[in-house]
Amino acid sequence: MRDNRIVKVWYRSFFQDKTIEIELYPYFVKLFNRRWYVFGRTAKEELVKVYALDRVENMIIKGESFEYPSDFLPENHLLDSFGIMKMADVVPVDIILKAYKEHPKYLRALPLHHSQIELEKSDDYSLFKFRLAPTYDFYQDIFSRRENVEIVSPPEVRNEFKRILTQIAKYYGD
């Protein structure tokens, strides 16, 4: 990456049955949930995508270089994201979480997102506000917090979480 070298990658995502070959222009890497990811575009597409390094079956550093875009900043690419996902159809919204019991202390000690603001503090709960795009990574993190947090708003994010909970409840029956 330091030398803007093109990398030939044989990649198999969890969503594909076969390995694909990619000529990748790597822009940056990120560690998330104990996995390393590389972000970059391919020779065929301008869109910056993410690839999990643990799903790379083989890699060759090519002799050719690419031109790194002068206006691309990795820290801006995921500014409104939680985790590694950036989806064009999921826009950032203001999300308010209600954290119960001792969980506000966890959120104060290790903020969920750089946009985190504590709005209200009481003996029983605290309200936290975030500005982010609610993708799979976000919902997965909220699930890990179990009954200690509640999505208060906006209604569409709360309803999506409820839809997921309803699906999970079906797995366990009545």
pLDDT of 174 reads: 66
Q: State mean pLDDT over 105-109.
A: 96
Q: Which two tokens stand for residue 143?
A: 């699930």
The reply to whether 73 falls in a domain is no
Contact call for residues 70 and 112 (beta carbons, < 8 A): no
The reply to whether 23 falls in a domain is yes
Looking up residue 130, the CATH number of its domain turns out to be 3.30.70
pTM for the full model?
0.84
CA triplet 159, 124, 137: central angle to 5 degrees? 35
| Residue 170 CB contacts under 8 Å (≥ 6 apart), including other chains | none
Amino acid letter for position 103: H
The reply to whether 87 falls in a domain is no
The reply to whether 75 falls in a domain is no
More confident position, 16 or 51:
51
Q: State mean pLDDT over 23-44.
A: 94
Number of Cβ atoms within 10 Å of the Cβ of 90: 16
Whose CA is closest to 4, among 71, 70, 73, 65? 65
Question: What is the 3-state secondary structure of 51-77?
Answer: EEHHHEEEEEEEEEECCCCCCCCHHHH
pLDDT of 88 reads: 85
Q: Are residues 116 and 153 in the same domain?
A: yes
Q: State mean pLDDT over 112-127.
A: 96
Q: Which two tokens stand for residue 87?
A: 């989806």
pLDDT of 16 reads: 85
- b/e code 158-170 from CB counts within 10 Å (16+ = b): eeebeeeeeeeee
Q: Which helix (H) or strand (E) holds 10?
A: strand 5-11
Q: In this prediction, what percent of the chain has a pLDDT beyond 90?
A: 87
The reply to whether 82 falls in a domain is no
The reply to whether 137 falls in a domain is yes
Q: How confident is the model at residue 19 (pLDDT cuts 50, 70, 90)?
A: very high
Q: Are residues 110 and 159 in the same domain?
A: yes
Q: Are residues 38 and 101 in the same domain?
A: no
Q: Are residues 63 and 98 in the same domain?
A: no
The reply to whether 81 falls in a domain is no
Q: Are residues 168 and 122 in the same domain?
A: yes
Amino acid letter for position 77: H
Q: State mean pLDDT over 55-79.
A: 92
Range of the domain at 100: 93-172
* Ramachandran angles phi, psi of 39, nearest 5°: -110, 135
> What integer best gives the mean pLDDT of the chain?
94
| Residue 31 CB contacts under 8 Å (≥ 6 apart), including other chains | 37
Q: Are residues 151 and 109 in the same domain?
A: yes
Contact call for residues 103 and 95 (beta carbons, < 8 A): no
User: What's the structural domain count of the chain?
Assistant: 2
Q: CA–CA separation, 67 vs 25, rounded Å?
A: 9
